[in-house]
Structure 1
Amino acid sequence: MADSLLELLSPYLETPQPNDATASLYLNRLSTLSLDALQTTEPQSLAQSSHSTLLSLQALSNRSHRAFITSADHLSTLRSSIPQLASEAQQLRDAIPKLDEQAVSFSTKYSKITDNAALERRKKAVQLARNVDRLSDILELPSLLSTAVSAASANPGVSAASTTYSSALDLHAHIKRLQTLYPESPLIQDVVSQAEDAMKEMTTNLIAGLRSQNLRLAAGVRTVGWLRRVAPDLESLQSQGATGTGEGALGAIFLVCRLAHLVSTLEALDPLRELADQETQRRTHGKDQSDTWSGGQQTDRYLKRYIEIFREQSFAIVSLYKNIFSSEQSDSEPAVSGLGPAEAHQAKSPSARPHDPLQRLPSALATFPMHLVRLLTDTMRAYLPNVRDRSSRESLLTQLLYCAASLGRLGGDFSMILTELSGEEDISYDWEDVMRKHRALAGRLEQLTSRVPVH
């Protein structure tokens, strides 16, 4: 039915399209309408639909007119652009084989040339571009090392310092490995130089840590262990000087640092020492001879405090030294202890060692107690005559004996050296009485301890 109607209406249509699906659908709909509907309602419906479509087109053109214009421009040039694109693509496809031939010819020609500066620069640039991340990591190593050392010095806590110093030592070991792998690289040499500066700062901080006020055994062992890793040259000095105790120069550095702390602690008594110096001036100028037993109170206070600090610090220094370095001294003799009696005697005999015209230097601890005793005796010799009260002087001498006995438990008894202090007749009598009382007290204590039953 729709086809028949379309044939009848085709002379009245401007562009007849026999295969138009929309027209076929509309004609099928018309065949279902009555004659009255075709004359009355259908024209109105068509007019309404036409008006609605016109309004939609107007709104769309107002809203998207720029896109329409651009699409129209592109559509107008599309017929010429597509053939041009096809022609250029064909030219590119034809030029690829020629380009490949030229690249192969260039590679074959210049691959055998080794002295071409341009090619060398290009190779270096390409290699640098490939390894830029690794190079940036290597360049950051000195700054990381310096940061770790600074953080350890800023946070002197045990746990924080242990972590940061361990990290710094690991970074330094990694830098040394890089130096071993690339000994001729200027970049690695620069990184190593900056790392050495940071390790010198770390060595300075560690040595300064040995001068801290309350140095414990664990902290001392840890600090000496770090110094061995940071400055191994200090240990190599033992072949030039020390008697094979395994301490190298670290033992001397430890004793010097602790001695510096002792001296700084004693310098805190300067206000009392100034008062004692005033009494020394009055005694030497003869201004206080009228009452010979009334002077020396300030000197007595100064000497008591001085001996108390000296006794505590000297015992701590020597005991710390023995506990830190005694294990190394015992470890340095396994080869002799593992031999038989004849071999051990031959190894220990002087004839078994090469002839040395110069005697080896003793260990640092061998002469250190003598320096401490000299420091004490010089002070006592200078200020003890100021104390004119007999009981005060006996108290000081007794305190000296206890100090000598305390250091004597570590092998540094200097009680016999104290007899040199009796320069005056009164002091010599006091010294004899104090020694007699001290020996009597020691004898009674020994008797009491011998009577205690052992369970």
Structure 2
Amino acid sequence: MADSLLELLSPHLQTPLSNDATTSQYLNRLSTLSLQNLQTTEPQSLAQSSHSTLLSLQALSNRSHRAFITSADNLSTLRSSIPQLTQEAQELRDAVPKLDEAAVGFSTKYSKITDNAALERRKKAMQLTRNVDRLSDILELPSLLSAAVSAASANSGAGAASTTYSSALDLYAHIKRLQTLYPDSALIRDVASQAEDAMKEMTTNLIAGLRGQNIRLAAGMRTVGWLRRVAPDLEILRSEGLSGTEEGALGAIFLICRLAHLVSTLEALDPLRELADQETQRRTNSKDSLGSWSGGQQTDRYLKRYIEIFREQSFAIVSLYKNIFAAEQSESGTASMGLRKSDSNVKSHDPLQNRPSALATFPMHLVQLLTETMRTYLPNVRDKSSRESLLTQLLYCAASLGRLGGDFGMILTELNGEGEMEYEWEEVMRKHRALAGRLEQLTSRVPVH
């Protein structure tokens, strides 16, 4: 039907219609319309569609006229551009073999020349380009190490700090390995120098950690182990046999840090100590110190608290030291006995060469702190029961430290005063031993299951 209508309409149209799908669809639609619709509604519909299409074309022209102009210009030059592109591609293809021959000739000519500065610079630049990622990773090592050390010092948890310190030590070991592999590299030397600064900061943080409050055995052993890895120079004296101390300098550092913590803890009693100093001044200014003075209550409070802290902290310090360094001392002591025997025939005996360990003199220093305090403030206490309580507390402190080899009970006899202030040490010791004997009897009667 559409083909027949197309044949009938073609002679009456100025522009012949193409037999496409759109034309066929519209002719088929015309065949379904009545004569009245063809005369009335269809012209109006076509006019409305034509007007809508015209408006759309105008809007599109207004909106995209530049793109149309550019497309038209490019289309006009397309016929000349394609042959020109083909010609240039052919010229490039013909020039590639010549370029390859020139490159091969250049390489053959200058490959055996070693003193050409331009070639050396070119080789270094090419090598730097190939290894830029590796160099970037190496340059980031000091910043990563510093960040790890700072994060470990900021973390309060033992697990997080342990993991971060381990990562920092691994980074430092990697940097030292690079320094061993490339000793002549200025870049590696600079990176190693920055790493040394970070390790000094880490050493400072670890030593400060030994001064922490209520340090435990696991934390102390872990910190000392890290110090051995970070600062191996502290053990050079021991390894070379220049000192008789088996723990090296770490033992002395540990004791110094814990002593600093003990002193700072005792300094927290300064308000009580100031009251005791006031009582000392009033007793000294009294005309008859043995007769008219009857105070000492504030001094008694200060001394009781002082002895309590001293007993707890001194026992903890010596106990931690023995648990951390005892195994090393036993192993290195047996190994060094044979070395000293073999060297005794060669080297002359030097009494200043083998010094005692730090722990051998440390309890005496602690006792000196205690006895100086007691000698200064004990005369203020005039009440006999208070004096006996303090002396008994001192004996318990001496016995507590004596379990670790630091009994100083006999040294306390030097604290005797004069006249009525002379303390009855025999009576106090007798009571103390009697109480200890009864406790021993009670414990011996407990049945063992």
- Per the shorter chain, which TM-score range? 0.7 to 0.9
Which residue identity is paired with 2:176? K
Supply the distance in 2 between the matched residues of 1:289 and 1:333 (Cα, whole angstroms).
55
Instruction: Encode CA deviations 1:296-346: one digit per residue, 9 max, x unaligned.
Output: 22211111111111111100100111111111122224558xxxxxxx899
Residue matched to 1:439: 433
Change (3 A) 1:54 1:261: closer
1:387 to 2:381 alignment: yes
| Contact persistence 2:417–2:423 (CA under 8 A) | no
Residue matched to 2:253: 253
Point out the more displaced range, 377-386 or 102-111.
102-111
Normalised to the residue count of structure 1, the TM-score between the two structures is 0.80
Normalised to the residue count of structure 2, the TM-score between the two structures is 0.81
SS in structure 2 opposite 1:318?
Answer: helix
Residue matched to 1:197: 197
Q: How does 1:111-126 map to 2 (within 5 A)?
A: 111-126=111-126
Give how far 1:72 is off. 5.2
Point out the more displaced range, 74-83 or 314-323.
74-83
Change (3 A) 1:222 1:345: closer
Which has the larger Rg?
Answer: 1
| Contact persistence 2:318–2:404 (CA under 8 A) | yes
Give how far 1:164 is off. 1.0
For structure 2, the 5+ residue unaligned runs are 1-17, 24-42
| Contact persistence 2:242–2:353 (CA under 8 A) | no
Which residue identity is paired with 1:355? S
- Over aligned residues, Cα RMSD in angstroms? 3.7
SS in structure 2 opposite 1:361?
Answer: coil
Residue matched to 2:405: 411
SS in structure 2 opposite 1:332?
Answer: helix
Change (3 A) 1:74 1:397: closer
Which residue identity is paired with 1:243? G
Point out the more displaced range, 287-296 or 250-259.
287-296
| Contact persistence 2:300–2:386 (CA under 8 A) | yes
1:275 to 2:275 alignment: yes
Change (3 A) 1:52 1:453: closer
Supply the distance in 2 between the matched residues of 1:298 and 1:257 (Cα, whole angstroms).
30
Residue matched to 1:356: 349
Give how far 1:450 is off. 3.6
Point out the more displaced range, 427-436 or 221-230.
427-436
Which residue identity is paired with 2:220? G
Give how far 1:281 is off. 1.9
Give how far 1:86 is off. 3.8
Supply the distance in 2 between the matched residues of 1:324 and 1:297 (Cα, whole angstroms).
41
Q: How does 1:209-358 map to 2 (within 5 A)?
A: 209-238=209-238, 239=240, 242-243=243-244, 245=246, 247-287=247-287, 289=289, 291-292=291-292, 294-333=294-333, 335=335, 351=344, 354-357=347-350, 358=352
Residue matched to 2:363: 369
Instruction: Encode CA deviations 1:98-134: one digit per residue, 9 max, x unaligned.
Output: 3222222221222222222222222222222221111
Residue matched to 1:100: 100
Which residue identity is paired with 1:448? L
Which residue identity is paired with 1:295? G
For structure 1, the 5+ residue unaligned runs are 1-20, 27-46, 337-343
Supply the distance in 2 between the matched residues of 1:88 and 1:182 (Cα, whole angstroms).
51
Supply the distance in 1 between the matched residues of 2:323 and 2:273 (Cα, whole angstroms).
34
Change (3 A) 1:67 1:311: closer
Which residue identity is paired with 2:216? R
Supply the distance in 1 between the matched residues of 2:160 and 2:287 (Cα, whole angstroms).
59
Q: How does 1:162-181 map to 2 (within 5 A)?
A: 162-181=162-181
Which residue identity is paired with 1:408? G
Supply the distance in 1 between the matched residues of 2:255 and 2:98 (Cα, whole angstroms).
82
Give how far 1:402 is off. 0.7
